[in-house]
């Protein structure tokens, strides 16, 4: 079903994106490190899961958001728990080789292997914690012995940027030495992700290594209309073309919001602005989470409120900020905060203008942040 809210996992539910699927497969075969980037709700997770599933790729899927949303926050403890779960679900899916894999993991420091349940547990306490490198080396040795390329997927990797782990170094090591592992990272906050990996930093261990990029795009107007009509068609609803056009106009090609509208409509919530409002309450939590992590929370909030009202030029936004705060703001400080909003994927630069391009986030900022 196109209007299912969960990330899609099969081609029959995935609208379009065939080229991107094929590109992912080519990269899986030829590349070492692949980045799937694009705005939130553009369909990155759906694309990756569908690719893994349709091409039957052996994979360890790591959802980095579950680390940052867990009770222990971004800590080595929650990282270890999510990593254990990721490997355990890999074991669950492959009864054929699960014992062979467990044999490879046995005897590794910080890794408990329960053969009867076919489960592993990764220890996180400082004295006897597992080593990420050693674990990946064993996974690689296992993959090599099976003659397989193992996909290691780190979905929304930038969520782990506050973890005391050098991902740039780690992924450079995998890149150079663990040839049976292909790493896929995804990120809604592309700037943060690439900063974390040190893509443009000559001092970074990953610098100079080729990262194959798959960009998940927004849908064009005609595609958006087609998507909604097909989705309604699947459930036998005929919806007025004018409403569909209005929805497409409002939601700006983000497939996640189109899906959310379709799902809401099918479930009886039919007023577009009410749907936008419901979605924006959710998004407000994310924006607040982002702001609360910054030392300049108040100023960033003001900037977001201003720029969410209308596209503004650099100088215009700065003046509006100064007017609102009643003080002069230093160019450098202003610029670095603006870059921060861009890297977080909240603000976009288009031509000379800065704007909040996700209409739902714009409402969230205006009403609930
Ligand atoms: N190609 C697609 N076809 C149909 N629905 C999609 C597609 N891509 C995403 N969706 C839907 O949009 C929403 C967001 O998708 P998701 O893959 O989680 O996006 P992202 O990972 O980029 O934030 C989900 O409800 C998902 O079911
Ligand atoms: Mg996702």
Supply the pLDDT for residue 105.
Answer: 97
- The pLDDT-based confidence of 108 (bands split at 50, 70, 90) is very high
Average pLDDT over residues 93-120: 96
Supply the pLDDT for residue 280.
Answer: 98
- Give the domain ranges of the chain: 17-215, 221-267, 282-368
Residues near ion ligand 2 (CB < 5 Å) are 44-45
**Percent of residues in the chain assigned helix, strand, coil, to nearest 5:** 55, 10, 35
Per DSSP bridges, beta strands 59-63 and 348-350 are: unpaired
Residues in a beta bridge with 119: 114
- The pLDDT-based confidence of 360 (bands split at 50, 70, 90) is very high
Q: How far apart (Å, rounded) are the C-alpha atoms in residues 310 and 355?
A: 7
Q: Measuring from atom 8 of ligand 1, which residue has the nearest CA? A: 43
Q: How far apart (Å, rounded) are the C-alpha atoms in residues 12 and 225?
A: 18
Structure confidence by residue, pLDDT tens digits, 214-268: 999 999 999 999 999 999 999 999 999 999 999 999 999 999 999 999 999 999 9
Q: Measuring from atom 7 of ligand 1, which residue has the nearest CA? A: 43
- Give residue 151 CA to ligand 1 midpoint distance, Å: 21
Supply the pLDDT for residue 274.
Answer: 97
Class of domain 282-368: mainly alpha
Mean pLDDT for the chain?
97
- Domain 17-215 annotated CATH 3.40.50.300: yes
Q: How far apart (Å, rounded) are the C-alpha atoms in residues 18 and 41?
A: 18
Q: Residues lining ligand 1, judged by CB closer than 6 Å? A: 2, 4-8, 14-17, 38, 40-46, 188, 255-256, 259
Average pLDDT over residues 115-143: 97
- Please give the number of the atom of ligand 1 that sits closest to the Cα of 4: 27
Supply the pLDDT for residue 119.
Answer: 96
The fraction of the chain above a pLDDT of 90, given in percent, is 99
- Give residue 100 CA to ligand 1 midpoint distance, Å: 35
- Give residue 41 CA to ligand 2 midpoint distance, Å: 7
Please, are residues 346 and 355 in contact by the beta-carbon 8 Å criterion? no
């Amino acid at each position: 079903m196109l209007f299912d809210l969960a990330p899609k996992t099969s081609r029959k539910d995935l609208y379009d994106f065939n080229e991107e699927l094929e590109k992912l497969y080519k990269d899986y075969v030829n590349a070492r490190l692949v980045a799937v980037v694009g705005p939130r709700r553009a369909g990155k997770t759906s694309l990756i899961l569908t690719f893994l599933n349709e091409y039957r790729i052996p994979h360890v899927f790591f959802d980095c958001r579950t680390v940052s949303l867990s009770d222990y926050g971004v800590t080595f403890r929650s990282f270890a728990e999510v990593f254990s779960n990721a490997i355990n679900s890999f074991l669950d899916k492959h009864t054929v080789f699960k014992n062979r894999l467990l044999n490879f993991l046995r005897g590794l420091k910080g890794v408990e292997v329960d053969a009867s349940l076919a489960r592993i547990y990764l220890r996180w306490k400082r004295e006897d914690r597992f080593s990420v490198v050693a674990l990946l080396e064993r996974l690689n040795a296992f993959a090599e012995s099976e003659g397989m390329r193992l996909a290691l997927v780190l979905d929304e990797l930038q969520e782990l940027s506050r973890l005391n782990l050098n991902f740039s170094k780690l992924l450079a090591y995998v890149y150079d030495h663990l040839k049976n592992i292909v790493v896929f990272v995804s990120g809604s906050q592309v700037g943060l992700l690439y900063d974390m990996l040190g893509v443009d930093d000559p001092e970074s261990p990953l610098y100079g290594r080729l990262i194959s990029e798959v960009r998940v795009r927004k849908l064009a107007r005609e595609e958006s209309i087609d998507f909604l009509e097909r989705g309604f068609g699947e459930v036998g609803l005929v919806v007025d073309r004018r409403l569909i056009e209005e929805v497409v106009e409002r939601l700006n090609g983000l497939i996640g919001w189109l899906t959310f509208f379709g799902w809401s409509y099918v479930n009886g919530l039919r007023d577009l602005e009410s749907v936008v409002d419901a979605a924006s309450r959710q998004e407000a939590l994310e924006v607040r989470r982002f702001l609360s992590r910054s030392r300049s929370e108040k100023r960033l909030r003001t900037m977001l409120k201003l720029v969410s009202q209308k596209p503004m030029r650099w100088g215009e936004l700065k003046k509006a900020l100064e007017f609102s705060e009643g003080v002069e703001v230093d160019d450098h400080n202003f610029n670095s905060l603006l870059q921060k909003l861009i890297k977080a994927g909240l603000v976009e630069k288009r031509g000379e203008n800065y704007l909040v391009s996700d209409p739902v986030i714009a409402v969230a900022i205006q009403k609930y942040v």
